[in-house]
Every structure is written in structure tokens, then in C-alpha cells.
Amino acid sequence: MEEVDVEPAVTNIPAAGRGKHLGFAWGPGDILVYETHLKPKEAKGPGSPFIHEVQKDEDIYSPILRKLFNESHHIFVGLQTIRDDLPSKNKKPQFVSVSKNYRSVIRACMEELQQVAVSSQDSQKASQYENQVSILLAIELIWNLCEVLFIDAAPAGSLLLHLLDWVRLHKTDDDVKMRDVLQSESPAAHHSYWDVVVSYVLQGRLEETRQMLVKQANLQPAAKKMYRLMDTLLSKMPFYNPSGNQTLTEFDVKWRHWHEEIDRCLQDNSFASNQHLETICKILSGDVDTILEHKNLLSSWYHFLVTRLLYLHPTVKPTELHFYAQTSLSMFLETSVTEPLDSILLAAFEFDIHQVIKDCSIALSNWWFVAHLTDLLDHCNLLTSHNLHFGSNLREFLLLEYASGLFTHHSLWQLAVDYFDHCPEFGRVYLELQIERVPLDTERKALKVLRICEQRQMSEQVRSICKIMAMRALRNNRLGSALSWSIRAKDAAFATLISERFLQDYCTKGTFSDLDLIDNLGPAMLLSDRLTFLGKYREFHKLYGEKRFADAAKLLLSLMTAKIAPRSFWMTLLTDALPLLEQKEVIFSANQTYELMYCLEELTSSLNKTVPSPDQPMQDDEIEVTKVELLRLALARNLAMAIVKEGTVEA
Amino acid sequence: MFVARSIAADHKDLIHDVSYDFHGRRMATCSSDQSVKVWDKSENGEWHCTASWKTHSGSVWRVTWAHPEFGQVLASCSFDRTAAVWEEIVGESNDKQRGQSHWIKRTTLVDSRTSVTDVKFAPKHMGLMLTTCSADGVVRIYEAPDVMNLSQWSLQHEISCKLSCSCISWNPSSSRAHPPMFAVGSDDSNIGYGGKVQIYEYNENTRKYAKAETLMTVTDAVHDIAFAPNLGRSFHVLAIATKDVRIFKLVPLRKESTSSGPTKLEVQIVAQFDNHNSQVWRVSWNITSTLLASSGDDGCVRLWKANYMDNWKCTGILKGDGSALTGSSGQPTAMSTVVGSSLQSQSAFNGMSAGRYFFPSLDSPRVGSRYGHLLPPPSLIDNCEAEPIQPQAQPQVQIYRRPSRALLPLPEAEGH
């Protein structure tokens, strides 16, 4: 494939031109540009104080085109599920129907755009809409032709019928004219009457032609015979019927016979007295010069092509189209300058699919069309594989581009996920790179993003999102949320840190926040030692609250002996033991009391080793000393009671 | 591509760097006026300055965001020979009401004896690590061992590059197959000093960074350097801003199990463009590395893109039009003209485009022209109130659904 050299598009930035530099920064959907001087040594004097946000094409921000993206997404996903193992014969009707679905979405979108364009008060907006409509019209025109030629791949005979439909579908101005004519008081006298009739003939709409001619014939009784002859000729023109049992050769013979009849009429000068009928007859005979005299009615070279085929080569084969298309183009256009649309259609007639796709990507401002069309053609096995340097193909390249564009949109990014899913080579990496950039504005949105990542086992992204959310919650002092996010992230270090915060909070306030969460940690508790302690410690409080003192006491002790509790927290735990020791009935057994005493001594001995810092206020120390003494007293008393009680029971 | 909005940055001197945060909802700017500003994007897309403070006692060259996993953290570097780390603290509620946020300095890194020219955070999988490079030719790697205490940073590595450093870039690959790697560029213009881009790689055994490669072909001053996202490939892609734009492919060669030295790299040049005519100052990749942007002495930002055949082309140019907006606040007066002129180039970002319209605009149809028929029929408009599903009520629908032999009627788009 040849590379078409296209000049890069220039975007003007309201900044000083020469002599200054433009700095820039990539954003997710835009690029920030600012005036600066990048040569550090010469950097002097203030530049323009503005930063300009340069955006990509605004198509995705159009609410109407958004519908196009949404609905085509459904069709795309449906297409991907068409099973590969079906024989291709059975799949063809499905592909054709998918293609028609895409086109109907384009049409619906076009109609809506046209309506808003007309009702828009803002002329700039209106012309923008109209511009979009004209692009969609062209897209649909190209798509339709691709459907006929590539997807439906009609053989000789049916091919012309399809092309006729294609031309009729896209040539709607005749119908407007026709309505004007028919609605006038005397249609036959209307100044556009003959234009309409000839247009019908050019499009092969012979039934309508006959109906129109009847009106004229009624006004001219003298010429009735001539009109009747024309009517017979028109009614006799054979059309190939692909569903009938007529062979193409039979049709060809019949058609030639009819053609000879037309030629005979011309030689006889049957219509010489009526220039209009003469013209029609000449068109029917396939007289190219006569057809070309009606360029304004044909309005395009490809209409001319189809008319020419209709009256000269109705059994044209797909392989011959190329020749007729090119000659029609040069016969129709005086200038050799072709517009992008011309070359795209010509490439289609040449069956050069890659050229069609390529020219479209260059000419269109949006990847929507090329991505979807290429995907469909690829499903039809019509694309020879052009491998990328790293193994991807054209289909994937275009889908990735399209989906990446969607990802910059605040809601359309969700559609893009499915497109990435259906790109086997790079879809996943692209999704990973894009999805972690989706702003996590709310917990709800974070959960949505998370679900997408979890469904695809994107563990690193899952971890990162949870970590970001945990960090944010922690910064805002929402400890519960921070803890549940870090449990989700399986981030032990962070869970430890947050557990510490919880315990600190408890030490200062005497109550726990987020009880629901801590009470229902379950196995998640095992994520970190500190979290385990937090959970267990809270369990102690619950037992205590439920007056299950024996269980509470046992748990409390085990927190220290099993080294689950951090040493720094032991004093708090021992203080918690105090009310249990002070109960009338014995809760801690003698053995348990010994263990408590051991814990206290271990703690105080290690405390004594550290030299009290001079700036620590004496008061704190005194409180500590009193606390220890109180504990010792309570422990001793409890031990005494326990020994007495245990001795009594044993005896 | 078009200028969607212009933001009055209100810096009192030249802006040196603008940096997006990871999610693209915030940006930071820095300037010769020694300050850094933080901007937040509102729901409607407008940018609001939420913090502005003096950061250094010299021009601030670069400002960069840490990954949000580490909270809201910025690093800046300056002519004043220091780099600094800043953290946003969740302030008083009345701060929030005024739309202001509060940033405090967590540390000043003072090890450099010359201007600190670049500052970058390492990829997040390595933890919270900050790298600086300076005009004295030293790359320094700092680590915050406790991400909750950003006032403690330890200098982990000091790597002497022998040449005045201008830029650093980390290889973002988090693959186990790739040890941590960064590239450093030098703006020393003496060609005799040889290659100006050095690649360093971390060695697990020695726990040190060792030079893996010097790009010997890059002998002119290098101003910026950027690794592309890895995309799961075995090789790395590096863009360099020197007297031209260059894209290199670095292919790690299979390592011998006995060798403990750094991975040998095969260096291949992928593309080289001199369209900027002279020095190129900045290069940067978009998120998926499908586009590379560069800025040069021609005053333009150029966008480069590879097509599916891996041919690199310039696909868009951002160019100052000489009409620098002036004024220090509010919306620029030239906005309307800016938006108006933008339509012609809406597609440059997409990589392929034509500066012209694909089809002639609708408001000037040429009668009998080739495109005359592409105009939608007025009937489309007349019947806009009519129920579009009923062909009888809407004559133009018949156009699409003419009884035809082969073309099935289009399915009802309206029924979706």
C-alpha cells in the first residue's frame, strides 16, 4: 500500500509565534500548551500568562453522536459473538444484517442531527451540526457500497440491482422535486415535470415513469399513440430476478431483444415529434451522450455509472466494475481533480478494501467509521493480514484508536472496555493503562472501575485502585473506609497502619469508630498482626459488654501471652483487666493471675530500663506509677481470692 | 484539535513546567517567579487555582506528581540547587469552602551543589522514590521508607554521570523481567565528550545502579528524554530531544547466567525527525504511547504517530499564531476567535487528518454539483414531528424502504 502524504493539521494557539517556545503536558483527553522559553540560560522576561487546553476532536462530546457510539457498541458486541465455527455461507446473511444495523444507526443519528441543525438558533452551532450530517451522509454512502460489494458480494445480475438501490437510496432530492410536481395543480404542466420523469428513467424507476407519463398523455390526445408506445417499451424492459429460475443467459437474451426494439424505435424516428420522449428513448438505448446531457439530474459520476450499466451492461460482473467506474468518472468530470469521496468510492469499485479504509481514516475526523467497518470486514474474512511490527493487525489498530478516544470521555469509557476486550493483542495492556487513569471521583465510581478490573483479573490495577482509595480515605480521616479499602487491596502494611490509628483513637477517645466494620472482619483479620489484634481487642470489648467476663478475661490474657498485642498496648490491656480483677467473684484463675503478673513485671522492667526523658512531665510518670501500684494490689488481692476459691473447690 | 479553553495562569514570570496528576483532574504549574500553583478541574471542566505558594529561592524548573497511591504529593526542583517534596494536607473546613488547599513542605533535598535540572518519581512498584539530576552531573535517588512520613528521605544512590545532566526518565515497565532502569541525558554541547544519553540499570546483587549503555550516536546536547509505556513488550522505547527528535528501541539481549553485569542492550533507531529545524526541547508520550509530542526552536509542538505499519509521521502541529493573549486574569478576549478557527483541525489528535473539510459544507450547496444530492432532503425536516416509524405518515421514509428486490428494509433504528 502506498502512503498518502497528508500535511499535518495545524492548530493555532493564541501565543507568541517566533522566538518563543511552546511547552506542553499530556492529559488524558487533551494537551496543555503554554508559552515559555525552554533554553534555561536565556529564560528571561515573562511570557504569556496563559495555559491553553487543546482538545481532540469534539465529536465524542456531541450528545447526538453519543447515541451513535452507544448503539453501535451493542451491534459491535453482538457481532463479536457470532460464532466462528459456522460455515461462512450461513454467516453471510448475519453479516449483511449487522451491516444494515450499523447503517440504520447512522441514519437515525443523521436525522436527529438534521433536526437540531434546523431548530438551532445559533448559526455557528447549526453549521457544525450540518457539517456532521454531511459527514454521516458520506459515511453511510460509503458503508452501503461496501456492504453491496464486499459483504453481500452480489454476483453478476443481482449486482446491478443492488447498485440501483444504492443510488436510489442516496439520491433523495428527486423525491422532493417529485412531491412538488405532484402536489401542484397540474403536474404535467409543472416546470420540473420532465426533470422528474427523466430522473426516474435514469434511476430505472420505470413504474413511476409510466405513471407520470400517463398524466402527460392525457393532456395530449393527439400524441396518445406515441405515449402508448413508450409505455409498452417501459413496461417490457426486463429486470433480472435472482430468486426466479431464470438463468443469467436467458435474461441476457431477453434484454438484448428488448434493446433491439429500442434501437428500432430510434431508427424509425417513432418519437421524433416529441423531444422529451426521444430523449427518454435514447437513454433507454444507453446513449451515453444523452445520459451525460443530464448531469444535473445525475449529480454524481457514480449515478452516471449505475445508469450506464443499467442500459448498457445489466449483467456486469464484479470484476468489470473497476473499468466502468473509472471511465464513468473521467467521462463525467471535466476536471481531473477528485475529492476524497471520489477516490474512496473508486477504490471500493476496484475492490481495494485496504485503500478504502486508509483513505477514510485520512479523510474522516473520527475513528468510529473505519474501526467498525474494518471490524465487520475482518469478520467476513475479507482482510488480508497486514501485520504490525509487534504483531497486531489493521482491525485491532483501528479499534484500539477508537476505544482510546472513547476512554477520554467521562461516561463513554465504559463502552471502550468491550472494544479493548475484543482486541486480542494489545487490548488488555491498553485497558490496563487507560483504566487506572479513570478519575475515582466517588466511591461508587471506584467500585465500578474495580469491578471491571476484577472481572478481568487485573490484580495490579485492583490493588492500585484500592490503595488510592484507602490513602484518600485515610487523609480525610475516614478510618473505616480506609481500612476496608486496604483489606480489599490486601495491603498488610497499610492495614497495620490504619489499625494503629484505630487503637490510638481508642486510647484517646475511649471508644471505637466503625464498629460494624471491625466486628465483621472475619478472616480478613489475618491480613496483618495489628489488624488481628484490633479485631480481637474489639471482641474482648464485646464479650465484656455482654458480661461474659470469663471469656473476656481469657481473651485479654491470650492477647498478651500470644504476643498478638503490641507491647506498647499492654498497659492499656492491663488497665482493662483492672475492673475484672475488682469483681466480687473470681474471674482470673490463680494461674491466669500469675500470667498477668508476669506480663506486668515484664512491662515495668522494660520500662524502667529506659531513662525517663527530662522533658516528660512528672505528672504522667506519677500517674503511671499509681497505675502500676493499683494493678499490683488488684492482682495480689485477686490471687489471694483465687487460691482460696480453688483450694475450696478442690477440697 | 482545537483550543477548548485558555487558563490565565497568573504567574508573574515565565512558566517552566506544567504537569498533570495521574488522573488528569489536577495540574501543577511552576515558574521563574519561584512559585508553584496547583489547579483543580471542576465538574464543568473549568480550572481553578486552589493553591499557590513560594517554593524556592530561584526559578522552579520542573514540578511533578507522585502516584496517588502515595497521597497528594508534589516534587519540584530549582535553580536554587534544591529539590523539595510537598504534601497537601486536608485543611480546615473553611479552607475547603474557599476552594483552597494547603500544601506543606515535607523536605528539602540539598545534596546538589548546582542547579537541579530535573526531578522524577520512580515507577510506583519501586515504592516512593524520587530522582533528581543536576548540572554537576549527579543523579540522586532518594527513598521515603515510610510513606506516611514524608519528612524522612534517605539518599539511596548517588550516580555520577560525568556530564552536566539535563533530564531523566524512568523505564515504566513493572515486568519482573526488567530490572529498574532509567535514562539520563546531558545538555553538554561538546560533541567530543561522546554519547549524551546513558542508561542505568539496577543490579540485585550489588544493590547498585550500573551503566548498561551509552547511546553513542547521540553526541549533541540532549534536553529531554522519555521512556514509552512498555505495553508488555520485551523491548523498551525511548524518545530523545536533541538537535532533532529521535526514537530508539532498546532490546535487552539474553543475559548469560554467569554474568553479573548489567543487561546488554541492542540499540536500534526507529525514527529521526528534524522538522523542528533546530534544537528540540521537550518530548513526551501520551498514556498508551501511540502519540509522541515534541517541542522545539521552531516554536511548535509536533505530534508524531506510528501507523499500523510502524511508519512514524508528523500528524499534527500546534503553533503559536503570534497573537499572545495578554492580561493577567479572567477569560481571554480572543476566545471566540480561537474557538472559531479550531474546527478546521479537529482531527489532528487522531493521528491522521486533513486540514480541509472532507465534504463541502452544507450551507453552500452547489446546484447540480457532485454533492448536491448529499444534502438531506428538506422532507427530513418538515416531518420532524411525525412518528418516524410510520412510512405513511412520513413520505421520506419510503425513500429508504422502497420495496426493493434485494435491499431489505433497514431495521428500525428508532426502536432501540
The closest alpha carbon to B115, from B61, B36, B185, B70, belongs to: B61
Question: Which residues 164-193 of A are in CB contact (within 8 Å) with B?
Answer: 165-166, 168-173, 175-176, 179
Asked if A214 is an interface residue toward chain B (Cβ–Cβ < 8 A), one would say no
Do A8 and B16 count as a contact with CB atoms less than 8 A apart?
A: no
Which chain B residues contact residue A18 at CB under 8 A? Answer: 299, 320, 322
Do B6 and A36 count as a contact with CB atoms less than 8 A apart?
A: no
Name the helix (H) or strand (E) containing A235.
helix A224-236
Cβ neighbours for A335, distance < 8 A, ≥ 6 positions apart? none
| CA-CA-CA-CA dihedral for A483, A486, A490, A493, to nearest 10 | -90
User: First CA to last CA across chain B, in angstroms?
Assistant: 32
DSSP string covering A616-632? S-HHHHHHHHHHHHHHH
Do A9 and B315 count as a contact with CB atoms less than 8 A apart?
A: yes
User: What letter would DSSP give residue B5?
Assistant: E
Across the beta sheet with B181-186, what order do the strands follow? Answer: B165-170, B181-186, B197-203, B208-214
Cβ-count burial of A23 within 10 angstroms (0-12 exposed, 13-18 middle, 19+ buried)?
A: buried
Do A173 and B400 count as a contact with CB atoms less than 8 A apart?
A: no
Tell me what pLDDT residue A432 has: 95
With beta carbons less than 8 A apart as the criterion, state whether A402 and A368 touch: yes
Whole-prediction pTM? 0.83
- For A427, the grid coordinates are 487490548
The residue type at B84: A
Cβ-count burial of B364 within 10 angstroms (0-12 exposed, 13-18 middle, 19+ buried)?
A: exposed
Tell me what pLDDT residue A59 has: 65
Tell me what pLDDT residue B359 has: 35
Tell me what pLDDT residue A108 has: 93
With beta carbons less than 8 A apart as the criterion, state whether A318 and A331 touch: no
- For B336, the grid coordinates are 471566540
Please write the tens of the pLDDT for every residue from B296-340: 988 899 999 887 777 888 988 998 887 765 544 333 333 333 333
Residue contacts between A and B (CB atoms, under 8 Å) = 452
Asked if A362 is an interface residue toward chain B (Cβ–Cβ < 8 A), one would say yes
- The number of residues in chain A equals 651
Which chain B residues contact residue A342 at CB under 8 A? Answer: 370
Do A9 and B354 count as a contact with CB atoms less than 8 A apart?
A: yes
How far apart (Å, rounded) are the C-alpha atoms in residues B362 and A14? 29
The closest alpha carbon to A431, from A466, A406, A410, belongs to: A406
pLDDT tens sequence for chain B (416 residues): 788 888 888 888 889 999 999 999 999 999 999 999 999 999 888 999 999 999 999 999 999 999 999 999 999 999 999 999 999 988 665 666 667 889 999 999 999 999 999 999 999 999 999 999 999 999 999 999 988 899 999 999 999 999 999 999 999 998 888 899 999 999 998 888 889 999 999 998 899 999 999 999 999 999 999 999 988 888 999 999 999 999 999 999 876 655 667 788 999 999 999 888 889 999 999 999 889 999 998 889 999 988 777 788 898 899 888 776 554 433 333 333 333 333 333 333 333 333 223 333 333 333 333 343 343 333 333 333 333 334 343 333 333 333 333 333 344 433 33
Do B380 and A114 count as a contact with CB atoms less than 8 A apart?
A: yes
Cβ-count burial of A594 within 10 angstroms (0-12 exposed, 13-18 middle, 19+ buried)?
A: middle
Q: Long-range contacts for A225-234 (Cβ within 8 Å, ≥24 apart)?
A: A226/A270, A226/A271, A226/A273, A226/A274, A226/A277, A227/A277, A229/A265, A229/A270, A229/A271, A230/A271, A230/A277, A230/A280, A230/A281, A233/A258, A233/A261, A233/A262, A233/A265, A233/A281, A233/A284, A234/A206, A234/A209, A234/A210, A234/A284
Q: Three-state SS string across A384-429, please? A: CCCCCCCCCCHHHHHHHHHHHHHHCCCCCHHHHHHHHHCCCCCHHH
Q: How many whole angstroms from its chain centre is CA B37?
A: 18
Burial A329-342 (b: 16+ CB within 10 A, else e): bebbbeeeeebbbb
The count of other CB atoms within 10 Å of the CB of residue B93 is 8
R_g (Cα) of chain B, nearest Å: 27
Tell me what pLDDT residue B378 has: 38
Name the phi and psi angles at A157, rounded to 5: 95, -75
Smallest Cα distance from A243 to chain B, Å: 9
How far apart (Å, rounded) are the C-alpha atoms in residues A121 and A116? 9
Cβ-count burial of A444 within 10 angstroms (0-12 exposed, 13-18 middle, 19+ buried)?
A: exposed
Q: How many whole angstroms from its chain centre is CA B147?
A: 26
Asked if A55 is an interface residue toward chain B (Cβ–Cβ < 8 A), one would say yes
- For A524, the grid coordinates are 480478613
With beta carbons less than 8 A apart as the criterion, state whether B78 and B59 touch: yes
How far apart (Å, rounded) are the C-alpha atoms in residues B283 and B310? 19
- In A43-90, beta strands by DSSP E: 50-55
The residue type at A637: R
Cβ neighbours for B229, distance < 8 A, ≥ 6 positions apart? A433, B172, B285, B287, B288, B289
Residue in B5, B89, B350 nearest the CB of A56: B350
How far apart (Å, rounded) are the C-alpha atoms in residues A139 and A113? 14
With beta carbons less than 8 A apart as the criterion, state whether B290 and B305 touch: yes
- For B67, the grid coordinates are 502516584
Helical segments of B98-242, H only = none
CA atoms within 13 A on the CB side of B396: 22
How far apart (Å, rounded) are the C-alpha atoms in residues B38 and B20? 10
Please write the tens of the pLDDT for every residue from A63-106: 888 889 999 999 999 999 887 666 766 788 899 999 999 999 99
With beta carbons less than 8 A apart as the criterion, state whether A486 and A500 touch: no
Tell me what pLDDT residue A615 has: 54
With beta carbons less than 8 A apart as the criterion, state whether B55 and B76 touch: yes
Rounded to the nearest 10 degrees, what angle do helices A590-609 and A570-581 cross at? 140
Residue in B325, B355, B378 nearest the CB of A9: B355
Spans of chain A below 50 pLDDT: 1-4, 387-391, 651
Do B405 and A241 count as a contact with CB atoms less than 8 A apart?
A: yes
Q: Which residue of A has its CA nearest to B364?
A: A127
How far apart (Å, rounded) are the C-alpha atoms in residues B134 and B80? 11
